[in-house]
Amino acid sequence: MEFKTLHQNHRAFFQTHQTKSIAFRKQALRRLLNTLKKEEQQVYTALEKDLKKPEYESYLSEYFVVVKEIQLMLQHLNAWAKPKRITSSPLNFPSKDYLLAEPYGCTLHISPWNYPFQLALNSVIGAIAAGNTVVLKPSEMAPHTAALLEKIVAASFPQEHAAVVQGGAETAQSLLELRWDYIFYTGSTRIGKIIATAAAQHLTPTTLELGGKSPCVVDGTTPLELTAKRIVWGKFINCGQTCIAPDYVLVHEKYGEALLEQLIAQLKKAFGTNPEQSESYARIVNATHFERLTAWMQDSEIRYGGQTDKKDLYIAPTLLFDPKAKGKAMEEEIFGPLLPVVTYQTKDEAETIMGKFEKPLAFYMFSKDKDWINSLAYRFSNGGMVVNDAVVQFINNKLPFGGVGHSGQGSYHGKYSFNTFSHFKPIVKRGLWNDPFVRYAPYPKKYDWLKKFLSWV
């Protein structure tokens, strides 16, 4: 179907007001949940084909996350969508004031390839829960998952309520020419700017879920074995292709070698001595990203890993020792299984290195130094902070998820998704029996009275 026709159909469907009914929205979400349960195994198969994702990871970080999100919506939708009584202003006495959550209308979602299932569906769930229609364009770089998403959405929604459009950049550009009521984008900061520019032509509000270089500070006050174990999990899940993965480690010089030793030990424990044979290790999404990452690797001292196999799109979990933070991998977001370990001597030096980059999506800090933790929490802006772990902020869908500055605008997950896709409309219902003369013209002689009255209320 032509995009324009699909768009018109969505607009016409939204104008029937069917999506305003909470029962309608819940039915739609239940249908999606049922389809997902039927297609669960297909989800794992598609993710295996696109990224060689281990089923364990696909369950934990994709399928389970989506199912949980729908369940949370079903559980709380009545309460979230209920008009909220707001204290009235005495100046309007008598009045009853409300906030009514109204859907924006027709929403467009453009999603990436790294968690191609949940990063496509989670925003869709929020938009449907809030009463919008949805057009989703998944990433062309994860084609098996994209095809399955189309099948799942078609089986769960009438096409005029939610539909999937397949294609790459050109398709996205054509969709962006149309006037949407909300655009939700997940992907790189570079494309995020293109999305924001296109949205501005129609004054369409957007949420931009972008990336950045997320630091991981290790000051040596936490047990290094546990520290390394958690960093290895957060960094190498999905072969490092995680937007909130620790991008680089900043370790106090005194503990640099000891941390490297522990990281190597944990990598061997997790993926064995030949991670290419490991059933727990995914692959790089395509040859372009493979080339980019292998080039960056050449530039630093490889302390562990470094093996590659282009045919298999395999890059071993790799530790780069880069004490001066000068390598290519310390310029842009890595988004792959390379972990530069950078050393610092003083807190100031660590902060200067982190401060060189745009505001990241995440900030990790392994430390027992409460003063430094609190001081960085207040002074260092980022999408979200985790103390003594990595990536786990994602698991709590009661927390907002999103970036700030170049790592994004807006947030979602759970109630925050509902809020993102709702316009909170204030409604003031005035009573008819009290109508103080003081507000009306002619004003002369009433001014003193008005001042007294306002200072009194």
149 and 178 Cβ atoms separated by less than 8 Å:
no
Determine which one of 209, 239, 333, 351 is catalytic: 209
Q: CB-based burial of residue 445 (10 Å sphere; 0-12 exposed, 13-18 middle, 19+ buried)?
A: exposed
Which residue matches tokens 């562990």?
A: 304
Answer yes or no whether residue 361 interacts with ligand NAD by CB under 6 A: yes
Chain residue at closest Cβ approach to ligand NAD: 211
Q: Pick the closer one to ligand NAD by CB: 119 or 149.
A: 119
Q: Is 109 in the site for ligand NAD (CB under 6 A)?
A: no
For the question of residue 106 being annotated catalytic, the response is no
Q: Check binding of 186 to ligand NAD (CB under 6 A).
A: yes
Residues 238-277 touching ligand NAD, rule: CB under 6 A, are 243
Question: Which amino acid is located at 261 in the chain?
Answer: E
End-to-end CA distance of the chain: 60
Segment near ligand NAD (CB under 6 A); pick from 155-163, 168-176, 306-314, 366-374: 168-176
H helical segments located in 82-163: 118-129, 143-156
Specify the stretch interacting with ligand NAD by CB under 6 A; choose among 184-192, 299-307, 373-381, 445-453: 184-192
69 is catalytic: no
**φ, ψ for residue 146 (rounded to 5)?**
-60, -45
Two tokens at 133?
A: 């229609």
Distance between CA atoms of residues 246 and 259, nearest Å: 15
The only residue of 44, 63, 113, 344 in contact with ligand NAD, by rule CB under 6 A: 113
CA triple 60-207-47, angle to 5 deg: 30
Q: Which of 101, 149, 172, 263 binds ligand NAD (CB under 6 A)?
A: 172
CA distance 216 to 356: 15
Smallest distance from the beta carbon of 346 to ligand NAD, in angstroms?
30
Within 237-286, residue ranges assigned H as helices are 256-271
**Which of 379, 331, 421, 453 lies closest to 133 in space, CA to CA?**
421
Q: Which of 240, 408, 410, 414 binds ligand NAD (CB under 6 A)?
A: 408
Separation of alpha carbons 66 and 105, rounded Å: 23
Q: Which of 136, 210, 293, 391 binds ligand NAD (CB under 6 A)?
A: 210
Tell me: does residue 333 bind ligand NAD (CB under 6 A). yes
Nearest-approach distance from CB 275 to ligand NAD, in angstroms: 22
CA separation for the pair 441, 249 (Å, rounded): 67
Which residue's CB is nearer to ligand NAD, number 347 or number 359? 359
Tell me if 390 contacts ligand NAD by CB under 6 A: no
Q: Which of 54, 103, 105, 112 binds ligand NAD (CB under 6 A)?
A: 112
Nearer to ligand NAD by Cβ, of 320 and 361: the residue is 361
Helix axes 143-156 and 22-51, enclosed angle (nearest 10): 160
420 counts as binding ligand NAD under rule CB under 6 A? no
Give the residue numbers marked as catalytic: 209, 243
User: Interface residues with ligand NAD (CB under 6 A)?
Assistant: 110-114, 119, 137, 139-140, 168-169, 172-173, 186-188, 191, 194, 209-211, 243, 333, 335, 361, 403, 408
